[in-house]
Structure 1
């Protein structure tokens, strides 16, 4: 797990060595285990580790590379979280997976599963993205692995597909125009 040493010391990534030393001394005195009022051994160790890394120019340069990578990942996560497109896309992929597994179960009740590679191919979703959707659908109880190792829709999954089908307004419109 990445530890943000700048956050630990409550300084900017642009802080100079003098600022780092001053802040370190302040926190070291405050959290030192010998301080009976505010001592905190775990916090003190964290502060010492952060200081030792950031005071050494070579270690700090190496740390800053990891820090920038981590900051980039945080930015990506924040952007993805603020966009509804990712969630909407996930809903479509999950519905597609359930529909594929539903169709397979209806077609061959005695052999209802689809293998991982085939599911990846049919869904058009790469394996690294598919794992999230499979995890979610399994956790909801809508799909499960069967004895032969393939993935199949469960009774709860069939109920889910049926409930979504009944709510789809385009289906209702088609039913009304056909009569």
Structure 2
């Protein structure tokens, strides 16, 4: 897991060596385990680790590469979070998955599951994206793995599909022409 050493020391990534030393001394005195009022061994260790990395020019240069990569990931997450189209698309994919599993359960109650590869193909959703939706639907209790390892809709999932259908009668299950 990436640790933001600049955040740990509460300094800018542009901070010079004098600033790093001054801030380090302040936090080291404050969080040193011998300080009876504000000592915190875990926080102290974190501060020492951050300081040791950022004070060494070679280690800092290596760390800054990882820091920029992490900052890029944060930026991507922020952009994705502000894009409501992604959330709308997720809702559609989850509804499609439930519809597929609903239809499979109705078609063959004794063998209600669909395998991962087939579910990926039928939902037209790549495996790396499908994992999020399967996690969510499982966590809600709307789908589950059955004995043979395939994924099937649960009673709660059937209730969910039925309640969505009642709210919006224009929803048609497994309408592959829509989308």
TM-score (norm 1): 0.91
Structure 2 SS opposite 1:67: helix
Higher normalized helix content (fraction of residues): 1
Residue 159 of structure 1: how far off its partner (Å): 1.3
**How far apart in 2 are the matches of 1:55 and 1:95?**
52
Residue 173 of structure 1: how far off its partner (Å): 16
CA contact (8 A) 2:96 2:174 kept: no
Determine which structure has more spread, i.e. the larger CA radius of gyration: 1
Per mean C-alpha deviation after superposition, the further-off stretch among 34-43 and 78-87 is: 34-43
**How far apart in 1 are the matches of 2:175 and 2:47?**
67
The aligned residue for residue 126 of structure 1 is 126
The aligned residue for residue 152 of structure 2 is 152
Count of matched residue pairs:
179
**How far apart in 2 are the matches of 1:123 and 1:168?**
21
Could you say which structure has the greater relative contact order, defined with CA pairs below 8 angstroms and 6 or more residues apart?
2
CA RMSD between the two structures = 4.1
CA contact (8 A) 2:137 2:143 kept: yes
CA contact (8 A) 2:144 2:153 kept: yes
CA contact (8 A) 2:53 2:63 kept: yes
Residue 38 of structure 1: how far off its partner (Å): 2.2
From the superposition, tell whether residues 176 and 89 of structure 1 become closer, same or farther in structure 2 (CA, over 3 Å).
Answer: closer
Per-residue CA distance 1:19-44 (angstroms, 9 max, x = gap): 11111112112222222232222211
What residue ranges of structure 1 are gaps of 5+ in the alignment? Answer: none
From the superposition, tell whether residues 161 and 33 of structure 1 become closer, same or farther in structure 2 (CA, over 3 Å).
Answer: same
